[in-house]
Amino acid sequence: MVKKLKVAVLMGGKSPEHQISLLTGREIAKNLSPKKYDPLSIIISRNGKSFRLNNKEYLLGQLSTVNCQLFIIAMHGPYGEDGTIQGFLDLIGVPYTGSGVLASALGMDKIYSRKLFTHKGLKVPKYLVLSKDEKQSKVWQHLLPPIFIKPNAQGSSIGASIVKKKKNLKKALNLAFSYGNTTIIEEFLDGIEVTCAILGNSNPKPLPLVEIIPKKEFFDYEAKYNEKLTDEIIPARISKSLTKKAQCVALLAYQTLGCRGFGRVDMIIKGKGVYVLEVNTVPGLTPVSLFPKAAAAAGISYQKLLDKIINLAIEN
């Protein structure tokens, strides 16, 4: 009889994406093969000070006493996707799924990841960094509307908005600054939005491209998690040569940050140019998420996808 692997699914946490993390975590726990795994579900509180396991509350520091062989990280946004929980798990010496501390931190930081992308020759939208204490008039000295405004270190389009008229700038900046002291402001690229899911460590492979067509103004938080608000087409309706180019760009972005296990690269295609927006090191795995849909298009069931993510973590 094959011995089951003891795994703990980490979800929740101190993040605006707490609820989405619970959806991802519960979907993972539900789909783990009972023949291969002995799973535990761990819900970290919204204040980040404690966790719940088997209906009992424990201090977060007691996470090191959990009896498991592998942690599956299903935490999105700050503290779960930015290298914080990864560093803690490195300290206690238990392996975990996905990227390590540095790649996770870089993936969450839009400014520094873009600096690395451009250093590698990848295209990114023209952008400006603005701090809370800087004059807002600086924006129009470098960019023209429409523009996108995003907090530097959030995911799922939390705090993001599009500004089409100069008079709406202050409101958008106030929203972004409510999630941090630094924002990234970028030109609006009117093109085809695609995302590329990637699996692998030293030799990663791209999955089929997903074309994203939001029915709202842009692919915001609501549109990401409500299938009625977005059309997702797999494979993307672009030429084979452009598909290959976008997949190569995605792979280079993934490897530039030093990602491992799995990840998802968001891009805009305008003409023949492929522009990298960001790399998601803990992509959503909810029933409506893009990564499982790309995997399904490649013939990989949700359960097999989890097997691959776990095996890549063990291999690493």
Catalytic, 217? Answer: no
Q: CB of 78 within 8 A of CB of 14?
A: yes
Token pair belonging to 32: 């783990």
DSSP string over the chain: -PPPEEEEEEEE-SSTTHHHHHHHHHHHHHHS-TTTEEEEEEEE-TTSSEEEETTEEEEGGGGGG---SEEEE---STTTSSSHHHHHHHHHT--BSS--HHHHHHHH-HHHHHHHHHHTT-B---EEEEETTS-TTHHHHH--SSEEEEETT--TTTT-EEE-SGGGHHHHHHHHHTT-SEEEEEE---SEEEEEEEE-SSS-EEPPPEEEEESSSSS-HHHHT-GGGEEEESS-SS-HHHHHHHHHHHHHHHHHTT--SEEEEEEEEETTEEEEEEEESS---STT-HHHHHHHHTT--HHHHHHHHHHHHHH-
Q: Which residues pair with 53 in a beta bridge?
A: 56
Candidates 21, 104, 156, 161; catalytic one: 156
278 assigned ligand-binding residue: yes
67 assigned ligand-binding residue: no
Candidates 21, 41, 113, 289; catalytic one: 289
Candidates 15, 17, 27, 193; catalytic one: 17
Token pair belonging to 164: 């089409």
Q: CB of 308 within 8 A of CB of 263?
A: no
Catalytic, 289? Answer: yes
Token pair belonging to 95: 């392996």
Catalytic, 301? Answer: no
Q: Residue ranges for the binding site? A: 266, 278, 280
Query: Which residues form the catalytic set?
Result: 17, 156, 289
Q: Residue ranges for the binding site for Mg(2+)? A: 266, 278, 280
